[in-house]
Copies of this chain bind each other. A is one copy, B any other.
Amino acid sequence: MDFFGEIVQIFGVPPSVGQIFGLLYASPVPLCFSDIFEQLDISKGSASQGLQLLRDLGAVHSVENGGEGRREYFEPELSLRQLVSGVLRERIAPMAAAGDERLARLRKLAEQDGSADEFYLDRVEQLETWRRRLKTVLPVLTTLLGPKRRK
C-alpha cells in the first residue's frame, strides 16, 4: 500500500495521493469517498484533494453506480501510458512552459549584453537545444510505453 505512497514522490506527488491510488489499485471493487479516507485513516480534506489531483492526472475514473445514492465510486487507471502521459501533461508541461518564457528572457539579455565575447549567447543556445531535445523525446517516451506493442 505504502508502495505507491513512496513511488509517486519521485514525481512530486504527495504520499497520501499515492496511497489513495494504491488503495484503489488493490481493491477488487470500486471504492467511494468514505471508503478511502476511512480505510487510509486520513482526513476528508486530504482525500478530497488527493482524488482531485488523481482526476486531473487521469489516474482515476469515477464509475457509474446503479443510481444508488449520490456517492461517487472510483477505480484506478490501469494503462501505464495513460498514467505517464497524465503526469507529463499536468506536471512537466507547465514547468516546460514557464521555462520557455525564462529562456526567452535570458536570450534577450544575452543578445543585448553586447559584451565582447559570445559566451553567454552560446550557453543560451545550448539551453535551447537541450529543451528542444527533451520536448521531442518525452512524447516518444509515452508511445514507447504503449500497451502490448510488438517486439
Report A's interface with B, CB cutoff 8 A.
3, 6-7, 9-10, 12, 25-26, 28, 78, 80, 91-92, 95, 99, 102-103, 106, 117, 119-120, 123, 126, 130, 133-134, 137, 140-141, 144-145
Known interface pairs A10-B12, A126-B78; A28-B117 also in contact (CB < 8 Å): yes
Task: Report the copy number of this chain in the oligomer.
Answer: 2
The 9 closest A-B pairs by CB, nearest first: A28-B119, A80-B130, A137-B144, A3-B102, A133-B145, A137-B145, A141-B141, A80-B133, A25-B123
The distance in angstroms between the C-alpha atoms of A133 and B119, with both chains bound, is 41
| Residues in B whose Cβ lies below 8 Å from that of A99 | 3, 7
